[in-house]
Structure 1
């Protein structure tokens, strides 16, 4: 028989059951990944996950337990209705987080955290980004979770029993206070010295998905919010002095570090084109699928191609900062979210502006998305063109203006700009939901085919633009830089940490290139942070303020023969060199790929992660 004094344990059990159901829904939704797990790993994902579940339940339970304490002393307080209302609101929030996480994990490869909060001021872009999600099914999942939660609540917790007649109210209040005090134990994950964290639920070295399944989503969101005020570096692998030595060696110039000069003039116009989601997997001259990017493949024969080039991160806003400020990414946040920090970064727009360049930025979407506008403005761009600057009829994409419209506008306006100009264009049509105009050239009607078609469309629009630009008076004195903002899991749905997902194209083209530069292929390994130093060396401008950048057209440092590329993801890093990949999980500090570990490379990656994040914290 129920009594008032057992309500708190039953309330705690109620939420534990709900989180177990949420974990089951996650495993079922991602059945393809779950099928690769053993039955023991599936069971352990529930057993290990209980620690984070219990911590989340403890936070949720503080208010109901407090209401019971007050209700013990004030009998007229409608405790049952207040707890019911609070539980309903909390259940809706938990249900929304759980349902959203199901699809976001498929797209992003990590459990839901505070990352989507930075997009709340751009609801249109959020909706467009979710264009390929099975919204009806997710709504059904949410409704199912709500019904299960309501049924369990009715079975376990209603009605709220009255206090036993012979039980004094002061003693009931003391019992409630004791229950509330006991919540500290599950909140911390036990009685150990260090509070529970993600690493406590990681148990599988072979299957990161099993570890991800053990994570409690509401706890993960709340924990990641703390990063906004983080003051301590969680990536402390070695003494700071040792980390500085390792990183300094990676950027130490070779004694024969004379830069190759490939331009006909030291002050050409610079047309910097950033291609949304262009992955090397679809670029023929980089060994990817043939026939998707004929424009880029043609430019590789007439310009300069960098064959081992990698994105620094996995989101557009991260790619912008790496390309335009030569700044490394952060594994669990992004510096672009902190205007006070980005204001301290160097930027190509500011550097070239001081050298006499007119600077402008073109984008068919809304620059308020992901805080890009504040970053670009603080970077020194004199003129910004975005969605609102296009006619309504030209806003023909869910994101804004399609790429052919963007290029047509640029073509009309570039000849009117003062020279030399530094003009940056950021495409958008190859972003989800891949709703580009024109006839589909790939037979299949699945998401991979739509992605291929969107990349092919942008490549064609780029080709049309460049063909017309060659007839313009400014073309002979123009250097074109073509690079992706990040790679993509498609085609093939590679894991979020797979190095192939980060490999992207980088090409130099344009009328300002010397004839002998045609067809040059650069094998040196590099990343987006290296574009700044490489470009400025060609313009014969100093690049010392770009401390995380190195010239890819100079000999590689002795500490990294053949160059290196560092990239990060949530929550780990990768180090690419000619010797092979090193990909590590920051939480478990274990490798994520079967490739043999290269000890020197592991240490270099750890030092880079430690020092770059320390720099981020100090900004």
Structure 2
């Protein structure tokens, strides 16, 4: 009788597992166009590890591991296709958000063949396990354990000896990147526990945190414009603007936005324009509030700003509103996603509208809201209404048509290689017609028009495309402005620049330089995109650090460049120094992580569905992603009032951490009527750090409710956790 514990011929079950964890990833990488030696090494290292760990495990134990691994592959492919980056922990809330997933995919994945391929591999493995269930499986030779160790070692050595500028998804499979990042965290934690991690000297933050108005003004006195129109295009990188490509000698030669480029030839362009982070709400915060958003994952500063009653008044809309402007915000999607329904009023917009404002129909089906042609036609009417008033005005527009799933008419889809390119071309035509309409109406004669993007969806093979933004300025005094604005700028400069244009005071809390001044010296700049932390010292040295705090240095006169001269590995201290600099900037709003005060309540009526469909899409208080420090206590107060006497509202409150339910002893379903409002208050301790924490306020029963108060206060246990101070501020947050 054969002994299953000794090596022998490989059975069908092992062969099916080899096909699943080794062959399918290699084939998928090739089909996705992610071919890179480091990437194939990473796939083989992870695949061989899974093979050795799961080869003789029970199917019910191996299956969840394989499902998780396959899910990471699909999530990676979809997010890279959508926004040009790998998923992070901060994306978990969106991956579990039914509205985000449904709208972003449009009902279909960008790479629908990948889950089919993975599913076929999993099914083949399960069938082989079932058919050979009575046959013992011979173990693999012990010597094979050297295979994953060797592959991981070769990959690690390659990253250190011959570092590549290829995108992270080309060099790592997501599970390998998560494993490497976790290992690095353990190493740093152990060094801290042993006291061997003496911190290097901290980098100064003055160049990044203070407004710099020492440059020479490009024209005397305030600008001639009476109004401000800020047009934000979803996900558009600076490489799509021809003058920017030419100025930086970019090898990217696809002319996807000829209309925008034609208008750029008439205005002032800033080729070296930096986007600091991913995600719309983070980009809007940086450009409208003159501050870097989180240069890592965590609670967006726009949400943290809801805890502030002073810093929000320094944002551009609030400053212009104080100067007598009527301030308006209009976007093509609903407002509740990413909490823009609360954040935008809080930073000073007097009128905030989303998809519900538009009365004109769409030209094509688009799950996020208005397609770009319909959006800009409505926006042109909005501008016309503003021009009938006597007040100067500020209008901020945000398009959504170039968000995944990139809808476009059939005529565009037939002309271009991908739906994303077709959607970009459709946006370009819609924007061109809009700008022509503004010119016909005489808007350009008395209005400063700034066209930019919230983030960059990246361009495959283009260096730093995920950080490359653009800023096109059309001003009444165009003859006094250069066509190409020299120097490095970014979203952090926009608020300071626009206040400087109108010769308004610059609040002390703002950062940045003015685009309407010329400077003789370089300046520091920082960005966190694609999992890479990038820092330019303003003196010709560009440093790029990966998720393991390994840094490379380049000689580069500016931040964005098509090429840069590699100077070698940066000193070991560079990683902790630049990470420490980013962490300091991350705390610009909250000088201490304690005594956090959030108000998610609003006087706006909220219509209830007849039943709860999903914990995420039906959340009555929008998206949150909170952090609660170790050793603190959190107090919550909730007030809900039913507005329709004919309906009883049924309310549920849940708490989740990393998308998993957290047991806080909350009551079950609660009934609310017009005569009997809900007033609930409770505390809970945070014995360890809570991250990716979210509240889910759900309701059903028809009619409408008003969440007049949802106060969340976190402080040390011996501090006053009273919520009375927040009760009066609910209206402030939503007005």
TM-score, with normalisation over the residues of structure 1?
0.69
Match of 2:377 in 1: 408
CA deviation profile, 1:437-494 (whole Å, cap 9, x unmatched): 48439844445642552343243233233234426xxx5432212112223433xx12
Which aligned pairs between 1:515-530 and structure 2 lie closer than 5 A? Answer: 516-517=479-480, 520-530=483-493
C-alpha distance in 1 between matches for 2:464 and 2:279: 15
Q: Would the alpha carbon gap of residues 575 and 218 (structure 1) be closer, same or farther in structure 2, given more than 3 Å must change?
A: closer
Match of 1:313 in 2: 277
CA displacement, residues 322-346 of structure 1 (integer Å, 9 cap, x when unaligned): 2122332445425428723564464
Does the C-alpha gap of structure 1 residues 114 and 441 become closer, same or farther in structure 2, counting only changes over 3 Å?
A: closer
Of the three residues 299, 303, 311, the one matched with 2:267 is 303
Give, in whole Å, the separation in 1 of the partners of 2:200 and 2:33. Answer: 40
What SS does structure 1 have at the residue aligned with 2:431? helix
Q: Which residue of 2 aligns with 1:616?
A: 586
Map of 2:461 onto structure 1 = 494
In structure 2, the residue corresponding to 1:242 is in which secondary structure? coil
Three-state SS of the structure 1 residue aligned to 2:514 is: coil
SS at match of 2:42: helix
Residue 364 of structure 1 and its aligned partner are, at CA, apart by 0.8
Match of 1:506 in 2: 471
Aligned to 1:102: 77
Change in 2 beyond 3 A, CA 1:114/1:254: closer
For the 8 Å contact 1:284–1:297, the answer to whether it is kept is yes
Aligned pairs for 1:212-611 (under 5 A) are 217=174, 242-244=202-204, 247-249=205-207, 256-261=214-219, 268-287=226-245, 292-333=256-297, 335-336=299-300, 339-340=303-304, 343-344=307-308, 346=312, 347-391=315-359, 393-394=361-362, 396=364, 397-414=366-383, 415-416=385-386, 419-437=391-409, 439-440=411-412, 443-447=415-419, 449-470=421-442, 476-490=445-459, 493-494=460-461, 498-510=463-475, 513-514=476-477, 516-517=479-480, 520-556=483-519, 558=521, 560=522, 563-575=523-535, 579=540, 582-587=543-548, 589-591=550-552, 595-597=564-566, 609-611=579-581
Indicate if the aligned counterparts of 1:253 and 1:555 stay in contact, CA closer than 8 A.
Answer: no
Partner of 1:113: 88
Stretches of structure 1 lacking an aligned partner (at least 5 in a row):
7-13, 65-82, 161-185, 191-197
Instruction: Return closer, same or farther for 1:520/1:216 CA change in 2, 3 Å cut-off.
Output: closer
Partner of residue 178, structure 1: none
Deviations 1:358-377 (A, max 9, x none): 22211111233344444324
User: CA 1:606–1:488 in structure 2 vs 1: closer, same or farther (change >3 Å)?
Assistant: farther
Inter-partner Cα distance in structure 2 for 1:46 and 1:537: 52
The C-alpha deviation readout for 1:21-64, integer Å capped at 9, x for no partner, is 446533321217888545xx577535754899699x89xx9xx9
C-alpha deviation, 1:541, in angstroms:
2.4
Shift in alpha-carbon separation, 1:599–1:494, aligned structure 2, 3 A: closer
Which secondary structure does the structure 2 equivalent of 1:394 belong to? coil
Give the Cα separation in 1 of the matches to 2:198 and 2:439: 52
Flag the 1:85–1:242 CA change in 2: closer, same or farther, 3 A: closer
Determine if contact 1:272/1:423 at 8 Å carries over to the other structure: yes
Pick which of 365-374 and 305-314 moved more: 365-374
Partners of 1:93 and 1:259 in 2: how far apart? 56
Residue 411 of structure 1: CA displacement? 2.8
Give 1:50-65 correspondences, 5 Å limit. Answer: none
When residues 255 and 302 of structure 1 are mapped into structure 2, their CA distance, relative to the original with a 3 A threshold, is: closer
Higher percent of residues as strand: 2
Cα distance change on mapping 1:368 and 1:19 into 2, 3 Å = farther
**1:568: how far off?**
1.7
Confirm or deny: 8 A CA contact 2:275 2:469 kept in the other structure. yes
Give the structure 1 partner of residue 707 of structure 2: none
Residue in 2 that maps onto 1:142? 118
Q: Does 1:25 align with 2:24?
A: yes
Q: Does the 8 A contact of 1:45 with 1:214 survive in 2?
A: yes
Change (3 A) 1:237 1:281: farther
SS in 2 for 1:541: coil
**Is the 8 Å Cα contact of residues 274 and 467 (structure 2) preserved in structure 1?**
yes
Distance 2:36 2:95 in 1: 35
SS in structure 2 opposite 1:359?
A: strand
Q: CA deviation at 1:523?
A: 0.9
Aligned residues of 2:281 and 2:302 also touching (Cα < 8 A): no
**Greater relative contact order structure (CA < 8 Å, 6+ sep):** 1
Query: Within 5 Å, which residues of 2 pair with 1:161-200?
Result: none
**Contact kept? 2:457, 2:466, Cα under 8 Å:** yes
Pair 372,204 (structure 1): closer, same or farther in 2 beyond 3 Å: farther
Q: Which 5+ residue runs of structure 2 have no aligned equivalent?
A: 6-12, 137-144, 150-154, 247-252, 555-562, 591-735
Paired with 1:617 and 1:18, the residues of 2 have a C-alpha distance of 47
* Mapped partners of 2:291, 2:18: distance in 1: 39
Residue aligned with 2:400, SS: coil
Higher helix share: 1
Deviations 1:593-614 (A, max 9, x none): 8833469999999756532323
Normalised to the residue count of structure 2, the TM-score between the two structures is 0.60
Which residue matches 1:45?
42
Pick closer, same or farther for the CA change 1:604–1:553 going to 2, 3 Å: farther
The offset of 1:209, in angstroms, is: 6.4
SS at match of 2:277: coil
